[in-house]
Amino acid sequence: MTLLTVVRHGQTNWNLDRRIQGSTDIPLNDTGRADARRAAAVLAGSGYDAVYASPLMRARETAQIIADELALPEPVLTRGMREREFGEGEGLLVDEYLQRWGDWTATVPGAETLNQVRDRALNSLERIARAARRRSAPRAESIVVVSHGGVLRALLLHASGGTLPREGDVLRNGSVHRFVAERGSLRLLESVAA
């Protein structure tokens, strides 16, 4: 068993503008750095063994702040946890995107589907859990993984059997979501707004 705590990266200026980032590499703003410190405060007091992160700079910087605050080693980058590729939707305001394509499940030229995002994120988490089990057997390891809203949405939908997040739920920057990975399954324990 591996405990996986998935954190959404801190705020960027594009988040503030409600602009779709996708794989566009946008840095944190000052509020985003504060989000990362708040997430670290939520995580403090629990023992963590490692930090992993999407390679996009907003997730990398969030992970670095968390690692520094919790006195953990440098974050390990994992491509499988990068944000959803939004294709022609990248850079659009959310309202423009929804006006053009109707909803988040629409087929957008050049974009990944939520199922594709879910599959690559689950593969990445399975590799992280497998590595943790090799390092720590027989005790459980606890890992922090910093990722993105689209990835979290896909993981929550999977782990909840499609009931979470509910329509209109916002996954806040810096929010913390705890899962258990065991025997090829992912189970949601809790979600906390930082």
Report phi then psi at 185, rounded to 5. -120, 160
21 marked ligand binding residue: no
64 marked ligand binding residue: no
Grouping H, G, I as helix, E, B as strand and the rest as coil, residue 126 is helix
183 marked ligand binding residue: no
Which residues lie below 8 Å from residue 177, measured CB to CB, with a gap of 6+? 5, 6, 7, 8, 152, 155, 156, 188, 190, 191, 192
14 marked ligand binding residue: yes
Residue 83 designated active-site: yes
Residue 96 designated active-site: no
2 marked ligand binding residue: no
Set 83, 90, 112, 141: catalytic member: 83
Set 9, 148, 158, 177: catalytic member: 9
13 marked ligand binding residue: yes
- Structural Rg of the chain based on CA atoms: 16
Which residue in the block uniquely carries the two structure tokens 């922090």?
Answer: 144
127 marked ligand binding residue: no
The annotated binding site for substrate is made up of: 8-15, 58
Q: Annotated binding residues, as ranges?
A: 8-15, 58
Positions marked catalytic = 9, 83
